A and B are shown apart, each in its own frame.
Chain A
Amino acid sequence: MAAEKNTAGKRSVMQSNLVITASVIGIVVLANVLGFWVYGTWDLTDTGRYTLSKVSKDAVRALPDLTVNVYISPDLPPTINLGMGRVLDLRGLRQEFLDKLRQYQSESNGNMTLNIITKDVVKKAKKAKLRLFAGQKAQVSNGMLEFKKYVLGATFQYKNQMEVYPLALEPAFYEYEITKRLLRLHDKYKQSLVMKDVLSAGEKVHKAISQCKDKLDSYKSKKKNQGLASLLSGGKDVDAIRLNLAKIRKTCNGIQEALAKAAALRGKQENLDDVLSSGAKVTKVLNSLYKSLEGGPKAGGQAGLILRQLDATFRDADEDYEALKNSPGRRTIGFICGQQEFCPFPEDHPMINPQLAMMLGSKNPMMSQFITQASQLERRINMINEQLNKVLFRRKGFNIKKIGPNTRIGPDVKALVVFGPEKKLDDKTMYKIDQFLLHGHSVVFFTNNWDAAVYNMQIPKSDFTGRKVSFDDTHLSSRPTNLKDLLSAYGVRLNQDLVVGRKHFGNITVYQVIRQGGYAFQTQRAFPYPLLPTFFNFDTTNPIVRGMADLTMPFVSTVEPTDDLKANKSVTITPLVVMGNEDAAVKGDDVPLSPPMLLRKLPVFQPGTPKPVALLVKGQFTSYFADHPMPKGVNKADFVKTGQGRLLVVGSNMGLENLSPRKVLENFKMSELSGNNMGALFKLPRYAMHFQNWQLRLSQIADTVQKDLVFVDNILEWAVQKTSLAEIRAKGMTKRPISEVSGSARIEIALLLILGLPLLFILFGFFRFAVRRKRIGGLK
């Protein structure tokens, strides 16, 4: 009985203990599950890095009914390879990104909806124009081995406007990136109301184009063994298209109708003009398709090619419409033009007035031929500039504006770019730049110290016919600009040197004509070229360069702060890109331009102290005109002697050179066409050579220029950024440098802490033992 009672008692103790333990486990699990959804954070950082700033809170509150779609691959890899041996740790990034967005949500006063996309996330993200990134895991997709793609980003939708955060891999800058988009969304929506008619016209044209594209896409070839025509057409069934031509025509005629309705708005907005132009191009290609298909089944191959061309025009139209959609609220960047800068705008007035030229040359058939060819050249130059403007800037969402010598900088312009002037800036232009900077704006200088020709085309001076063209013009001369003078007033020294990469550099493609017998062959060969040095040393806290692994700059000079600027406490100096320890900055006279000769001479160049090649200065500047006479005609009452501004100087023109009718048609005057002056005729081959040399120089370093565009884009984005954002960005900057410690002091400190501290602790133990022993001995 007692034993039974004992067993029952034990069982009861066990049961009650089990209940307690189970309760503890239950509470622990519940606390963690609940805590995951209801939580609080306490930011201890001295900059409040993990607390939303007022600008961010205001930005999210200003957007009622904001919808944020978050795209996160559920199987994000723990790390990804960034190349050059760099590995990015993604652990915890998903949580941090979501936490940051939830912070915005909780500050939005219930205005923000957060949707986390989990199903078909990569497909949906691609559609929403997010950037996918590859992991280290390979998989077979569509019969091909490829790295698995992941996504981590978000879209921000407000009313009919959208902003995309394509790749969120830098948690230190989450707040900066999100708030930047929210502010843009706000501006975009406000501005879109003003440009409602323009946007609506663009939308209608785009809709018509999309319908036409969808109609054509619906005739995709279903055959397994596609014929040539089908292959050429990018998988479309040419025969089916021919049979349904009437239906296609009916749908695609909508484009012309939309274009006709929007025609009245042409010239009102550049991005709309682009949409209308791409729409017109689509109709033109469509017409040639109709013509070709009406030619019967034999014309299948040609129709296929046209369909492929049509696909490309559809893509262009898409990009132009995207640019139009994103254009409201974009801040304008002014490009200084007039001193042979890189100025991607067609000339406002043609150099060769066709009517006047025809009148002058009407009596002379040779002169008439000259006029035709020179006008063609001019038109081509203008077309290239228009294309550069569109592809390099407008389509990327930059709103750029030409600021000529007689153009006033309007209030819409938020930043100025002086892109590699080849000649002296006139006083008035300098005054414009100077006062713009001192009024708190951003000014960016891409400098162009050197005219470097590597195997360019040339025609001997003695050859009037222009037939003896050779690819052997190799020269290096300094440009006669006055940028050094202007920049020195702001404390920036632009050195007349050339950086030679001794270890890391890009390639240059050299073109040569080889004559064999009576024939001439053009050959090309790529050489490693140390005058295209590659830099790796960036200020990683700055958004302009923080995401860059390397940057190759063509014919770059160093830029340094002067001693006065260094001593000036009212400015912040940031060397954005700095030479590597192995690079050398040498005098231009010492450098042979021929790639093989330069490579041979490379060991002679000794590396020196690394200097910046791109420098950013923010703060109080003194006007250049404080020490120089003011240009005539300016209102002295408006003159500002000192002011806050942001100045960025890059020691290279990044390979983008001026192309203008004035430069190509060098020294051309309309009066030369009068009478029987035949001198002008002989200039034509040289004009053509100037144009071809521009093309040649660009193609020689095309890969470098293409890669550098990211740097140029980042600079332009920074230039028009709102100052309130800069404060948020500063919070993300985590670098806190320690002062330099000498070699011997380093050893002393390390020894003191590694050995001294434990030794001291052990000595304290001995002391304690001794005291205890003494005390015990005393007691005994």
Chain B
Amino acid sequence: MGKIWTIAKKELHAYFSSPIAYIAISIYLILVGVTFFFKIPFLFPKENFFEAREATLRPLFQWSVVLMAVLLPAISMRLFAEEKKDGTLELLMTMPVSDFQVVMGKFVGALAFLAVALGLTVGYVILVFALGKPDIGPLLGGYFGVFLMGGGFLAIGLMASAWTKSQIVAFVVALVISGFLLFADRIPELFGLGGVQLFNLLSFNYHFESIARGVIDSRDIVYFLSVMALALEITRYTLESRKWR
């Protein structure tokens, strides 16, 4: 656990030692602000916050997950691809840490980055509390849901990053998988496959919406943890595979 934490700290430090983290989080905050305050007629249609006059952060969370689906693969694309390209991965593997610890360390570091990005939206929480009496349940559920979903995106990003040396390829692969899982519940609508329940069960958005109501449901947690576990295990397997190639 100590080794995982050490790698995580190193990763987090690496994020904030370059301008990338600041630029990425700032873009995220600007876009979240725009989607929160202004009327959006598509994807998750919503009114202007002041016109809708409702003390809720639900639209912020809904749009956050869409932005995260792009931002987090961009952040995680470098995690292994860069190390592979620079040849530092072999160096890392010579250290007394297992592949599992490396994968978990990088993942926890990325999760901490996600927590910082989410933490910076606290201004919106203050705003809704200052203007009204929001229900605390959907608020907590929303943050928890975005965090779980973000964890899923990061694990997928990590997995894609382990597959290739090219960061761009890793980003595109992660983006496609994340996008598919995020909007899987909309596939039946797009392709006229009404009633295929499997798409709902596979969808990030479906499980997120359930948590964002303010209900922590064990099925949603199991789902998100499963996606993370699966992606991280494939990442570990991919790293491990160099031993028999």
Chain A residues within 8 Å of B, Cβ to Cβ: 10-11, 13-14, 17-18, 20-21, 24-25, 27-28, 31-32, 35-36, 39-47, 49-50, 73-79, 91-92, 94-95, 135, 137, 734-741, 746, 749-750, 752-755, 757-759, 761-762, 765, 768, 772
Are A739 and B135 in contact (CB-based, < 8 A)?
Answer: no
**Docked complex Cα distance between A764 and B46 (Å):** 32
Residue-wise interface mask of B (104-143) relative to A, using a CB-CB cutoff of 8 A (1 in contact, 0 not): 0000000000000000100110011001111111101100
Residue-wise interface mask of B (143-157) relative to A, using a CB-CB cutoff of 8 A (1 in contact, 0 not): 000000000000000
Provide 11 A-B residue pairs closer than 8 Å at the C-beta atoms, listed in order of the A residue. Answer: A10-B243, A21-B237, A32-B222, A77-B194, A91-B200, A95-B200, A734-B135, A753-B37, A753-B127, A754-B30, A762-B22
Are B26 and A762 in contact (CB-based, < 8 A)?
Answer: yes
B85 CB → nearest A CB, Å: 24
Are B22 and A46 in contact (CB-based, < 8 A)?
Answer: no
**Docked complex Cα distance between A31 and B213 (Å):** 23
A8 CB → nearest B CB, Å: 11
16 new A-B contacts, CB < 8 A, other than A45-B137, A757-B33, are A17-B240, A20-B233, A21-B233, A31-B226, A43-B214, A44-B137, A75-B195, A91-B185, A92-B206, A735-B54, A736-B134, A739-B132, A741-B131, A755-B33, A761-B29, A762-B22
Say yes or no: is B189 at the interface (Cβ < 8 Å to chain A): yes
- Using known A-B contacts A11-B244, A758-B26, A762-B26, determine if residue A45 contacts B138 with beta carbons closer than 8 Å: yes
Residue-wise interface mask of B (78-120) relative to A, using a CB-CB cutoff of 8 A (1 in contact, 0 not): 0000000000000000000000000000000000000000001
**Docked complex Cα distance between A765 and B192 (Å):** 48
Are A44 and B214 in contact (CB-based, < 8 A)?
Answer: yes
Size category of the binding interface on chain B: 35 or more
- Using known A-B contacts A14-B244, A45-B138, A741-B50, determine if residue A758 contacts B30 with beta carbons closer than 8 Å: yes
Are A76 and B194 in contact (CB-based, < 8 A)?
Answer: yes
Are A753 and B123 in contact (CB-based, < 8 A)?
Answer: yes
Residue-wise interface mask of B (27-52) relative to A, using a CB-CB cutoff of 8 A (1 in contact, 0 not): 10110011011000000000000100
What chain B residues lie within 8 Å of A739 (beta carbons)?
Answer: 131-132
Are B120 and A737 in contact (CB-based, < 8 A)?
Answer: no
Q: Which of B22, B53, B140, B200 contacts A761 (CB 8 A)?
A: B22
What chain B residues lie within 8 Å of A74 (beta carbons)?
Answer: 195
What chain A residues lie within 8 Å of B186 (beta carbons)?
Answer: 78
Q: Which of A21, A39, A737, A755 contacts B219 (CB 8 A)?
A: A39
B40 CB → nearest A CB, Å: 14
- Using known A-B contacts A92-B210, A738-B53, determine if residue A45 contacts B135 with beta carbons closer than 8 Å: yes
What chain B residues lie within 8 Å of A36 (beta carbons)?
Answer: 219
Residue-wise interface mask of B (46-85) relative to A, using a CB-CB cutoff of 8 A (1 in contact, 0 not): 0000100111100000000000000000000000000000
Are B34 and A754 in contact (CB-based, < 8 A)?
Answer: yes
What chain B residues lie within 8 Å of A25 (beta carbons)?
Answer: 230, 233
B244 CB → nearest A CB, Å: 4
B156 CB → nearest A CB, Å: 14
A73 to chain B: closest residue by CB = B195
**Docked complex Cα distance between A570 and B120 (Å):** 41
Q: Please give me the 4 A-B residue pairs with the lowest Cβ-Cβ distance, nearest first.
A: A75-B195, A754-B33, A45-B137, A44-B137
Residue-wise interface mask of B (219-245) relative to A, using a CB-CB cutoff of 8 A (1 in contact, 0 not): 100110010011001100100110110
B240 to chain A: closest residue by CB = A17
What chain B residues lie within 8 Å of A78 (beta carbons)?
Answer: 185-186, 188-189, 194
- Using known A-B contacts A44-B140, A737-B55, determine if residue A92 contacts B209 with beta carbons closer than 8 Å: yes
Say yes or no: is B215 at the interface (Cβ < 8 Å to chain A): yes
Are B29 and A736 in contact (CB-based, < 8 A)?
Answer: no
Are A32 and B22 in contact (CB-based, < 8 A)?
Answer: no
What chain A residues lie within 8 Å of B140 (beta carbons)?
Answer: 44
A-B contact count, CB below 8 Å? 172
- Using known A-B contacts A35-B218, A757-B120, determine if residue A24 contacts B132 with beta carbons closer than 8 Å: no
Are B25 and A761 in contact (CB-based, < 8 A)?
Answer: yes
What chain A residues lie within 8 Å of B132 (beta carbons)?
Answer: 736-739
Are A50 and B55 in contact (CB-based, < 8 A)?
Answer: no
What chain A residues lie within 8 Å of B133 (beta carbons)?
Answer: 736
Are B137 and A43 in contact (CB-based, < 8 A)?
Answer: yes
**Docked complex Cα distance between A665 and B29 (Å):** 76
B139 to chain A: closest residue by CB = A44
Are A765 and B22 in contact (CB-based, < 8 A)?
Answer: yes
**Docked complex Cα distance between A13 and B54 (Å):** 57
**Docked complex Cα distance between A754 and B35 (Å):** 10
What chain A residues lie within 8 Å of B2 (beta carbons)?
Answer: none
Are A24 and B233 in contact (CB-based, < 8 A)?
Answer: yes
- Using known A-B contacts A42-B216, A750-B37, determine if residue A28 contacts B230 with beta carbons closer than 8 Å: yes
**Docked complex Cα distance between A568 and B54 (Å):** 25
Are A753 and B135 in contact (CB-based, < 8 A)?
Answer: no
**Docked complex Cα distance between A324 and B222 (Å):** 50
A689 CB → nearest B CB, Å: 53
What chain A residues lie within 8 Å of B21 (beta carbons)?
Answer: 765
Question: Quick one: which of B16, B213, B216 has the most chain A CB within 10 A?
Answer: B213
**Docked complex Cα distance between A735 and B133 (Å):** 10
A16 to chain B: closest residue by CB = B240
What chain B residues lie within 8 Å of A754 (beta carbons)?
Answer: 29-30, 33-34, 37
Are A32 and B218 in contact (CB-based, < 8 A)?
Answer: no
**Docked complex Cα distance between A381 and B185 (Å):** 58
Residue-wise interface mask of B (168-212) relative to A, using a CB-CB cutoff of 8 A (1 in contact, 0 not): 000000000000000001101100101101001000001001100
B193 to chain A: closest residue by CB = A75
A26 CB → nearest B CB, Å: 11
Are A41 and B195 in contact (CB-based, < 8 A)?
Answer: no
Are A35 and B222 in contact (CB-based, < 8 A)?
Answer: yes
Are A13 and B215 in contact (CB-based, < 8 A)?
Answer: no
**Docked complex Cα distance between A40 and B222 (Å):** 11
What chain B residues lie within 8 Å of A740 (beta carbons)?
Answer: 53
A92 CB → nearest B CB, Å: 6
Q: Which of A21, A44, A759 contacts B136 (CB 8 A)?
A: A44
What chain B residues lie within 8 Å of A32 (beta carbons)?
Answer: 219, 222-223, 226
**Docked complex Cα distance between A11 and B131 (Å):** 64
B120 CB → nearest A CB, Å: 6
